[in-house]
Amino acid sequence: MSANESTLLSIRDLKVHFDLGGGGPLDKLFGTNTVKRVVKAVDGVSIDIYKGETLGLVGESGCGKSTLGRAILRLTEPTSGQVFYHDRDLAHLSSRQLREQRRHLQIIFQDPYASLNPRMTVGQIVGEPLETFRLARGREAEQRVQELLETVGLNKRFIKRYPHEFSGGQRQRIGIARALAVDPDFIVADEPISALDVSIQAQIMNLLERLRREKNLTYLFISHDLRAIRHVSDRVAVMYLGKLVEIADAKTIYHEPLMPYTKALISAVPVPDPQVEATRQRIMLEGDVPSPINPPTGCRFHTRCPYAIEACKEVVPQLVEIKPAHFAACIRISSAQPHIEDVAPGAAPGLE
């Protein structure tokens, strides 16, 4: 599904580093935490998000995808980098200016139980953004809230009910209604279905898709669930330990991934078909996901990559357009030699 190619958000070299302390003179004296520990949750991410598309962001735990989503909205403060929305750099706006912009950029959270204030009624929760931005009051606000609830599939008569009286899927719908209240352009959906039952996941995915069409929304859909990502996204970006390693459209990512990590990720997803499961050849990764505190040097994946060579430890690979609209960050492939299995052992065509 091709999107309108105008860019809605432009993220440039975004970094979010958390300082865990250590390495100071007192620490050295007492022998604790002698090394300065920094969690490089997001370490130099650059990507454009096009108007009207759903960009899927996939990765495993600790890769920084949730942090990236929140940093774009400045719910977590970026350490450096820029986030351009309509020519304004969100990362460097004053808090007052930022608050004005918040109208256009909203978020849906993973946990339907923690993302709603248990002491407020549904009507109050969904109506609060209207109040904050002075979009409607009184009778008009109430009507708008009712409309929003109906849009997301909830009976408007339950407007005075409290969150704990709803199921997980319904609460997620309330969260979506709240995000829609201010008529945003862009929504970060941070693992919106992970906490839901399988039969409800499909409902929410369909709902999000319908809303996108009806309201011309743009989504950043963050998830670790490859199947969901594949289904909802136009393009997919794969993240590993704070960096983007591959970007392509959804079909290509699944059928023709270039990066060893992406291949392993796809291979690891269990398929609900016993024959396929019995006969497939899995790419098994050795070892654990390294810690984002002081991550590996060079290419962060080199510790687990079946194709790693010496150079991989030293060079930090850049995202390069290997095929049209298909980016990958690996020194062992290039546009001339895109398939890593065919590259001669020890060779690094990406370096030339």
Partner 1 sequence: MTSSDGNLLEVKNLRTHFDTEDGVVKAVDDISFQLKRGETLGIVGESGSGKSVTNLSIIRLVPDPPGKIVSGEVIFNGSDLLLLPNDAIRKIRGRRIAMIFQDPMTSLNPFMKISKQLMEMTQLHLGHSKAQAYDHAVRMLETVGIPDARGRADSYPHEFSGGMRQRVMIAMALSCEPELLIADEPTTALDVTIQAQILELIKKLKRETGTSVILITHDLGVVAGMTDHVIVMYAGKIFEQARTAELFSTPGNPYTKGLLRSVPDPTDEQGKLYQIPGLPPDMAHLKPGCPFAARCDYAQDICRREFPPFVKLNQDHHSLCHFAREVYTESGGTPVEA
Partner 2 sequence: MSTEKEPEPDDLVHIGPEMAVAEADLHPDDAFVRGTSLWRDAWRRLLKNKLAVFGLVVVIVVTIASIIGPTVIQHTFGFTPDYIPTHDQKLTKSMPPFKGPNNEFSWLHPMGTDNAGRDQLARVLQGGQISIFVAMVSTLVSLLIGVSYGAIAGYLGGRIDNVMMRLVDVLYSLPYVIVVIVLLSMFRSQTPRGQLTLLFIALGSVSWLTMARIVRGQILSLKNQEFVLAARATGVSTSRIIFRHLVPNTLGPVIVYATLTIPQIMLTEAFLSFLGFGVQPPLASWGSLAADGVQNIAIFPWQLIFPGATMALTLFSLNFLGDGLRDALDPQMRTV
Interacting residues toward partner 1 by CB under 8 A: 60-61, 167, 169-170, 197-203, 205-206, 209, 224, 226-228, 230-231, 251, 254-255, 264-278, 282, 284-285, 287-289
Q: Looking at this protein, which amino acid is placed at residue 258?
A: L
6 vs 199, beta carbon nearer partner 1: 199
Show the tokens assigned to 137: 């009051």
Show the tokens assigned to 324: 């049209």
DSSP assignment of 67-104:
HHHHHHTTSS--SEEEEEETTEEGGG--HHHHHHHGGG
107 vs 245, beta carbon nearer partner 2: 107
CB atoms within 10 A of CB 296: 15
Site string for partner 2, 195-214 (x = CB under 8 A): --------xx-xx--x----
Distance of alpha carbon 234 from alpha carbon 219, whole angstroms: 10
Taking contact as CB under 8 A, which single stretch among the options 36-44, 50-58, 116-124, 227-235 is the one that binds partner 2? 116-124
164 vs 255, beta carbon nearer partner 2: 164
- Pick from 241, 213, 215: which is nearest to 298 by CA? 241
Considering the complex, what minimum distance in angstroms separates the CB of residue 203 from partner 1? Answer: 5
7 vs 155, beta carbon nearer partner 2: 155
Looking up tokens 């969904």, which residue turns up? 126
> By the 8 A CB rule, do 246 and 56 touch?
no
140's contact among partner 1, partner 2, none, with CB below 5 to 8 A by partner kind, is: none
Considering the complex, what minimum distance in angstroms separates the CB of residue 169 from partner 1? Answer: 7
Distance of alpha carbon 133 from alpha carbon 346, whole angstroms: 59
Site string for partner 2, 144-183 (x = CB under 8 A): ---------xxx-xxxxxx-xx---xx--x-x--x--xx-
168 vs 349, beta carbon nearer partner 1: 168
- Spell out the alpha helix ranges (H) of the chain: 25-30, 65-72, 95-101, 122-132, 138-151, 168-180, 198-215, 226-232, 250-255, 260-268, 274-279, 310-314
Residues making contact with partner 2 (CB under 8 A): 70, 73, 75, 99, 102-103, 106-107, 109-111, 113-119, 121-122, 128-129, 132-133, 153-155, 157-162, 164-165, 169-170, 173, 175, 178, 181-182, 203-204, 206-207, 210
